[in-house]
């Protein structure tokens, strides 16, 4: 029996993109991966638009919460195999040192919480980013290096994929 790969997703507030990525990896391939998420400035709660995107298919939303990335830097922290930054403000140049020297990569997605997005457009932007993360995650879990035992993880830089969807969800900020 091989152990699961441990993957940490990073995003500034850990309330949207990284939460979505954590939930999707757990749901799509939880038998092969332990998924975590964190950020340098964790929000007080998961953003309602992120919950709205996840609600139709994610079984355990109750375990999702914003966390500080410092929770993953101590001796007691789980040893990650891969750290994925979901925006450039939290990539390896800005992130703390994580125990075990995990591989790292950056998947850049638009920030659905950006201040220049009109509130009337926010749900649409969340949906677009959600589907981009779904496509990226689907490609990620199919990578050959994740079919081998954990510990043989190679650094993989995977470009962000664009996507669109017909599903419409709403959220209340």
Distance, in Å, from the CA atom of 165 to the CA atom of 167, rounded to the nearest integer, reads 6
pLDDT of residue 139: 93
Whether the per-residue pLDDT at 1 is higher than 60: the answer is no
pLDDT of residue 60: 77
pTM: 0.83
Q: Average of pLDDT values for 29-56?
A: 92
pLDDT of residue 145: 80
DSSP code, position 68 = B
- Please check whether residue 161 is in contact with residue 132, taking contact to mean a CB–CB distance below 8 angstroms: yes
Q: Give the domains, in start order, of the chain with CATH numbers.
A: 5-147 (3.40.50.2300)
pLDDT of residue 58: 75
Instruction: Give me the long-range contacts of 23-28 (CB less than 8 A, separation at least 24).
Output: 23/54, 23/58, 23/61, 23/64, 24/54, 24/58, 24/133, 24/134, 24/137, 25/137, 25/140, 25/141, 26/60, 27/57, 27/58, 27/59, 28/137, 28/138, 28/141
Whether the per-residue pLDDT at 173 is higher than 90: the answer is no
Over residues 92-144, the pLDDT tens digits come to 778 899 998 899 999 989 999 998 998 889 999 999 999 999 999 999 999 88
The token duo for 154 is 């190679």
Distance, in Å, from the CA atom of 28 to the CA atom of 147, rounded to the nearest integer, reads 15
pLDDT of residue 23: 94
Cβ-based neighbours of 60, under 8 Å, separated by 6 or more = 26
Over residues 52-97, the pLDDT tens digits come to 898 877 767 888 999 999 999 988 999 999 999 998 888 777 889 9
CA–CA distances in Å: residue 58 to residues 9, 51, 70, 81, 99: 17, 9, 26, 24, 30
pLDDT of residue 148: 55
Distance, in Å, from the CA atom of 24 to the CA atom of 130, rounded to the nearest integer, reads 10
């Amino acid at each position: 029996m091989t152990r699961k790969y441990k993957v940490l997703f990073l995003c500034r507030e850990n309330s949207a993109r990284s939460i979505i990525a954590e939930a999707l990896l757990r749901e799509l391939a939880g038998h092969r991966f332990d998924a975590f998420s964190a950020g340098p400035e964790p929000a007080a709660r998961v953003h309602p638009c992120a919950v709205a995107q996840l609600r139709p298919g994610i079984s355990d939303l109750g375990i999702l919460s914003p966390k500080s990335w410092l929770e993953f830097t101590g001796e007691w922290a789980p040893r990650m195999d891969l750290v994925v930054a979901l925006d450039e403000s939290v990539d390896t140049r800005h992130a703390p040192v994580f125990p075990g020297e995990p591989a790292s990569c950056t998947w850049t997605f638009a920030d659905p919480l950006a201040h220049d997005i009109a509130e009337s457009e926010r749900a649409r932007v969340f949906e677009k980013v959600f589907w981009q993360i779904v496509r990226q995650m689907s490609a990620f879990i199919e990578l050959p290096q994740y079919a081998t035992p954990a510990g043989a993880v190679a650094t993989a830089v995977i470009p962000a994929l664009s996507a669109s969807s017909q599903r419409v969800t709403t959220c209340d900020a």
